[in-house]
Amino acid sequence: MLKRVINKIRRNHALEHATITLMLAKTGPMRVVGRAGTDGFYVWANVPKETLEGYAHEALGRLKKGEASLAVSPLCGTNIAVAGVLAGSAAFLAVGDRRGGLDGITRAITAALFAMLAAQPVGRLIQKHYTTSPDLAGVEIVSVDPVGGRSGLHKVRTATA
103 & 45 share domain: no
Q: How far apart are CA 15 and CA 3, in angstroms?
A: 18
In whole numbers, what is the pLDDT of the chain averaged over residues?
Answer: 93
Confidence band (pLDDT; 50, 70, 90) for 100? low
6 & 63 share domain: yes
Percentage of the chain beyond pLDDT 90 is 84
Per residue in 69-85, pLDDT tens?
999 999 999 999 999 99
Single pTM value for the model: 0.89
32 & 85 share domain: no
Burial class (CB in 10 A: 0-12, 13-18, 19+), 102: exposed
The total number of structural domains that make up the chain: 2
Per residue in 103-139, pLDDT tens?
778 888 999 999 999 999 999 999 999 999 999 999 9
47 & 33 share domain: yes
Confidence band (pLDDT; 50, 70, 90) for 101? low
103 & 153 share domain: no
Which domain covers residue 90, as residue numbers?
77-128
114 & 141 share domain: no
